[in-house]
Amino acid sequence: MSKANKSKRRYTVRTADINAPCGVIEQDKKKYGAILFQITYDVDVDITKNAAPLYGSPHSSDVAIVMVGVGILGLAMTLAMGVHNLVLLIASLIIAVSGSTATRNWENVQAWALMGTNLGASEDDVRRHVVVTPEQIIIEGPGAETTCYDLHKIKRVRHNANGCLVSFGRGKVAYFPASKMSVDRLRELEHFLEEKKVQ
């Protein structure tokens, strides 16, 4: 048996999350067919705080550090020159202070960026129901909205002890909080998504 067939069989054996009520599992099966994983949660401050570090590029904070360096270099050059250029001095100061502020508050910058995604799309209806099938991730919420993302379009899968965030690009994400899944189930999901991303 090939490795692809083994991994495919492994994920189809367990059809849904053991923590889900039976009625929800049956409804999802009727709507979406084969279900590999499913989770329901409310987007709150803790969920957002845990998801934020996973959003964006792993090296995106380097931009803020570069801004600090460029600002300080501009300030030094302006002060070292015999003729002081007020515009360059102010621009360098603004760049340095902006970079420094972003570096010190990077978690808040990430959380703010995450609010521009479908995870932070609604302040009124915070309930999210996420279903993973062999071919798609389906997100129900906010409200009656249902969004489907094909697994072959995964751009990035990032995870830590707090959960797993799948990015499809342009503010389209699916988040699976660790607090709502067993550790084994979360690791299984991460492995499944990593395999789908490679294909």
The model's pTM: 0.70
Mean pLDDT to the nearest integer, 15-33 = 66
User: CA 199, CA 192: separation in Å to the nearest integer?
Assistant: 11
Is residue 74 predicted with pLDDT exceeding 70?
yes
Q: Determine the pLDDT at residue 176.
A: 92
Task: Judge if the upstream peptide bond of residue 142 is cis by omega within 30 degrees of 0.
Answer: yes
pLDDT digits (tens, 9 = 90+) for 52-69: 888 866 666 778 888 889
**Contact by Cβ (8 Å): 96, 67:** yes
Exposure class string for 169-184: b at 16+ Cβ within 10 A, else e: eebbbbbbbbebbeee
Taking residues 133-144, what's their average pLDDT? 84
143 and 80 in contact (C-beta within 8 Å)? no
- DSSP annotation string for 140-173: E-STT-EEEEEGGG--EEEEETTEEEEEEETTEE
CB 18 within 8 A of CB 185: yes
Mean pLDDT of the chain: 79
Q: Is 186 exposed, middle or buried (0-12, 13-18, 19+ CB in 10 A)?
A: buried
Question: In the structure encoding, which two tokens stand for residue 126, read together?
Answer: 């915070």
Alpha-carbon gap, residue 98 to 104, rounded angstroms: 10
In DSSP terms, 130 is beta-bridged to 39, 139
Give pLDDT tens digits for 75-123. 888 888 767 778 888 888 899 998 888 878 777 777 777 777 777 656 6
